[in-house]
Amino acid sequence: MSRERQRTNKKKKHREEMFDLKVSVSLYTDPTPYEAVKEIINKTKKRGKTR
């Protein structure tokens, strides 16, 4: 069971890293950072809720 949990944690960590990467990229490319930040906050909220 712990092995299974480790696998899912790895996947989750990877997904979060990818998400952070997208976030930073969008922050650099988006001309209006404030809007991007707001969107990111909304996304993270949603992601946290659906579990």
Q: Where are the domains of the chain?
A: 2-49
Round the average pLDDT of the chain to a whole number and report it: 70
Q: pLDDT category, 26, cuts 50, 70, 90?
A: low
pLDDT of residue 33: 63
At residue 2, what is the residue type?
S
Q: Single out the residue of 12, 36, 42, 10 nearest to residue 24, CA to CA.
A: 36
Q: What percent of the chain has pLDDT over 70?
A: 57
